[in-house]
Structure 1
Amino acid sequence: MPPERSGTRKTLRTAPSSTPSGLGGRCSSRIRPMFLCFVPAFAERGPSFHGIWAAMSNVLFPSAELAPFVKRGGVADVAAALPKALRGLGHKVTVVVPKTGPGTEGSSGFDDRGTLLARRLTPLQVKVGADTITVTVYDGRLSSQVDLCVLEWAEALAVPTIYDGDAARLSATFSGAIAELARTWAEAGNAPDIVHLNDWPTAPAAAKIAELRAKGGALANVKTVLTVHSFAHQGIHSREAFGLLGLPAEQFGVEGFEFHGHTNFLKGGLKAADLVTTVSPTYAREVASGPRGEGLEGVVASLRTPLIGIVNGVDYSVWNPATDSALAGRFDAEDASNKVRCKADFVRERFGTYDPELPLVGFVGRFDAQKGIDSLLAEQSG
């Protein structure tokens, strides 16, 4: 865990012997090649990124979700798997996540998982509009041995995720806390090399960090990466929501957060981040030149460094039919005979009867045209 930056630790609770499903085990060697492409991608960006990934890097990885604790979509799975893989490559990674209230479907919350968290006695003080929000910081460690930092404040505890309720205020608080956390680490001599942000709830932190970096000091060499998992979700709020961020007024403009008279958190992050990535090379091309950009294609095309598409990977320590105890029978590429047994077990459980002549089609994704569900339904109806 990161060393205490201010005050001393106070242990709140002890962890039971069970570990969070989906986060255990070592980084599989089969997953590493996909993430190796992540490293040279930064080296190609020029002097500002040259050498950062040549040795062990200190990475702060904020995300609004983290499987299995807080989960609304696929970002939660990425936040669990990618830091684990980066740690396997020798980097030091700390996942930063807000502590929210009642869990959503598929989530369990930190308390239910019995995660060991140690509270820092000195909280962060985050300016949100005219208010100062006290954010309590807890340090922990996932079973994957990735460091964990949980941020808690009263308004977040009242919602299942920070997408809910007053999402603009919650995101502004989270983004401000990310920047403050990076600053306190840096001033304690443990500056992150990279702050890797994810989607619109964390995007304003890129602008906050850029503002602090411009003033010099401990954050002078910190770089920001923003990964956009879906351009369909941008965090578009009222014009007044910009005031929550505590940024200079000139950042509400065409080169900043302004978007057709509204405040667009993702757009502001895109303009401020040192590097922007997305989930595949194909998607990167689509959002830069067509409707998949959801109105931000011009912004993407004008980025200081081209948008990089990196195909999402799979954590084979979790998604591996050769070791998955939830299956009726295990199988692998060399012997797939038990797939028939798995199919029969699943169909009987879901539908009561099994006809081996009927095909079983699986689809992983939202029922959304962006995920190709329209093409799948068209094929079935045809």
Structure 2
Amino acid sequence: MRVLHVATEVYPLVKTGGLGDILAALPVAQQAQGVDARLLLPGFPAILDGLDDVGLVADLGSLMGAARVRVLWGRIRGSGIPAYVVDAPWYYRREGNPYLGPDNRDWPDNARRFALLGKVAAHLAWGDVDPIWKADVLHAHDWHAGLAPVYLSQNPVRRVRSVFSVHNLAYQGLFSPDDWATLALEPWMLRPMYGLEYHGWGSFMKGGLAFSDWLSTVSPRYAYEITTPEFGVGLDGLLLSRRDRLTGILNGIDQTVWNPQIDGLVPANYSAHDLNGKWVDKERVQHELGLAVDPGRMLAVMVSRLTDQKGADLLLGVLPKMRELGIQLALVGSGDPALQDAFRKAAQEAPGWVSVTIGYDEPLSHRLIAGGDLILVPSRFEPCGLTQMYGLRYGTLPLVRRVGGLADTVHEYHDGQPSNGFVFNRADVHDFALALARAADVWQDRGAWEWRMRTAMEVDHSWGPAAADYLAMYRQVLSDRN
């Protein structure tokens, strides 16, 4: 089976969230199961610089407003993942964030930038671009690739099946009606219910949802949640109408990157059978960050974007309770400037108790997760979440809100169910604080705490099971001729 994954990120070349991690790991796991899985990526500078064995596949000339468009072929350095790259300097050779300009706003030509990606994806899947390869399934990921299934539908005779994965429904890729004429879309495609129109705008996300043969999300619970008004961001009606072709598959994690036994980014390695290295990692990270070095104090960590979605404001609200319970906090992340400033102030007011690092720091993230006792993921919504799975893998017990993939992966002890963390229900400071108090109570019984750690570390969150589920879904899509 030949599968073309269309996306904008792949770790370690471009990563703004979990999407990059997924596109780095899923194709490798699929190849191990016999799938000819390839990527199609935009030619961002970091992607072009991270390719080995680069060759020219096709020169497409002028396309979608770009004077020069070429398709290159290479392999992602390190992993060897085969990748096609759309080399369109006018659209993609820009430094910094792949979606935002220097003013931290969307690039004004984002609609054309990512429509080009979708257009090339359709022609590559059909076999027009690479004369020796075409796809059985085009798998588009998130709004940036949302027009790929739309362009496929313009030529139904040359049938390539399509899957569209929702990684976060809240980010929709909206574009102005002024852009419609520039995207080579047929007028009927802009219809309100089953087209791209979204409250007077166009939506790349809605295009993927309406025109794909099959839909998937990154956890079973999120697949249900997005069909409800609370989490459906105005698209729940469309999703509910397609629920018989909507599958939730829980993401995995790359256990060659996230493995406490071999992680080269942490001071000391350890396993579920020998936790001594974890106590070394905790002492080192406390010292590194200027926290009081005390093995008896619980160290809570958070590695996250600082946004309301991620519950960063809720964490600010429980900081006094954490101090009261004797819990330290080490945070790394960036996001809303007001939240960043509030966390900086909190760290200044509580030296030895609170450490805040603003920015993205992959090595520090590994050291925090290895050295922490508790990892906080208090999200208002969370399609899947990876940091709680990293925490489970490292014996750093997650404390999460019961939503999306967090609810699918973290369980607090009740009715004999094994406990691997702590869970709260309502997105408010009170419920969050109660969960912290329960964690602090368990912390006093080190035997009970270590039992939960080992329970967490022994669960398999590798990509193998997820890759098998995706393969089963592809087979269903290919056999479905409706």
Give the TM-score of the pair, scaled to structure 1. 0.76
Q: Which moved more, 1:240-249 or 1:272-281?
A: 240-249
Of 233, 246, 256, the residue aligned with 2:171 is: 233
Following superposition of structure 1 onto structure 2, how do residues 104-253 of structure 1 map, counting pairs within 5 Å? 108-111=46-49, 113=50, 115-120=52-57, 122-125=58-61, 127-128=63-64, 131=65, 133-142=67-76, 143-155=78-90, 156-164=92-100, 165=107, 166-185=109-128, 188=131, 190-212=133-155, 214=156, 216=157, 219-220=158-159, 222-253=160-191
Quickly say closer, same or farther: Cα 1:318–1:282, change in 2 above 3 A. same
1:338 is the counterpart of 2:282:
no
1:279-314 Cα shifts (integer Å, max 9, x gaps):
111111111113221111111111273321111111
Partner of 1:348: 287
Partner of 1:53: none
Tell me how far apart the structure 1 counterparts of residues 220 and 243 of structure 2 sit (CA, whole Å).
18
Indicate conservation of the 8 Å contact 1:226/1:270, yes or no. yes
Indicate conservation of the 8 Å contact 1:185/1:192, yes or no. no
1:58 is the counterpart of 2:2:
yes
1:116-172 Cα shifts (integer Å, max 9, x gaps):
31123x3135642xx465321111123333211111102211354542322111111
1:163 alignment partner AA? Y
How big is the shift at 1:277?
Answer: 0.8
Quickly say closer, same or farther: Cα 1:306–1:257, change in 2 above 3 A. same
Partner of 1:72: 16
2:225 alignment partner AA? E
Quickly say closer, same or farther: Cα 1:149–1:225, change in 2 above 3 A. same
Q: Which moved more, 1:351-360 or 1:180-189?
A: 180-189
2:180 alignment partner AA? F
Structure 1 runs of 4+ off > 6 angstroms? none
Indicate conservation of the 8 Å contact 1:367/1:373, yes or no. yes
Following superposition of structure 1 onto structure 2, how do residues 271-310 of structure 1 map, counting pairs within 5 Å? 271-303=210-242, 305-310=244-249
Aligned length: 311
Quickly say closer, same or farther: Cα 1:234–1:366, change in 2 above 3 A. same
Q: Secondary structure at the match of 2:127?
A: helix
1:96 is the counterpart of 2:40:
yes
Unmatched tracts of structure 1, length 5 or more: 1-56, 102-107
1:32-60 Cα shifts (integer Å, max 9, x gaps):
xxxxxxxxxxxxxxxxxxxxxxxxx1110
Following superposition of structure 1 onto structure 2, how do residues 246-265 of structure 1 map, counting pairs within 5 Å? 246-254=184-192, 255-265=194-204
1:327-346 Cα shifts (integer Å, max 9, x gaps):
11101111112110011111
Q: Secondary structure at the match of 1:370?
A: coil
Indicate conservation of the 8 Å contact 1:197/1:203, yes or no. yes
1:84 is the counterpart of 2:84:
no
Tell me how far apart the structure 2 counterparts of residues 350 and 88 of structure 1 sit (CA, whole Å).
40
Taking only aligned residues, the RMSD between alpha carbons, in angstroms, comes to: 2.2
Quickly say closer, same or farther: Cα 1:305–1:245, change in 2 above 3 A. farther
Indicate conservation of the 8 Å contact 1:162/1:171, yes or no. no
How big is the shift at 1:90?
Answer: 1.2
Tell me how far apart the structure 1 counterparts of residues 256 and 94 of structure 2 sit (CA, whole Å).
34
Indicate conservation of the 8 Å contact 1:124/1:180, yes or no. no
Tell me how far apart the structure 2 counterparts of residues 233 and 239 of structure 1 sit (CA, whole Å).
18
Partner of 1:325: 264
Tell me how far apart the structure 2 counterparts of residues 342 and 110 of structure 1 sit (CA, whole Å).
36
Indicate conservation of the 8 Å contact 1:126/1:177, yes or no. no
Quickly say closer, same or farther: Cα 1:190–1:304, change in 2 above 3 A. farther
1:309 alignment partner AA? G
1:93 alignment partner AA? A
1:54-100 Cα shifts (integer Å, max 9, x gaps):
xxx11101111111112222111111011111111111111111112
Partner of 1:41: none
How big is the shift at 1:379?
Answer: 4.8
Q: Which moved more, 1:270-279 or 1:370-379?
A: 370-379
Partner of 1:21: none
Q: Secondary structure at the match of 1:81?
A: helix
Percent identity between matched residues is: 31
Indicate conservation of the 8 Å contact 2:14/2:47, yes or no. yes
Q: Secondary structure at the match of 2:300?
A: coil
Quickly say closer, same or farther: Cα 1:114–1:191, change in 2 above 3 A. closer
Unmatched tracts of structure 2, length 5 or more: 101-106, 322-482
Partner of 1:29: none
1:339 alignment partner AA? K
Computing the radius of gyration from Cα coordinates, the structure with the larger value is 2
How big is the shift at 1:178?
Answer: 1.2
Quickly say closer, same or farther: Cα 1:171–1:187, change in 2 above 3 A. closer
Tell me how far apart the structure 2 counterparts of residues 236 and 270 of structure 1 sit (CA, whole Å).
14
Quickly say closer, same or farther: Cα 1:352–1:286, change in 2 above 3 A. closer
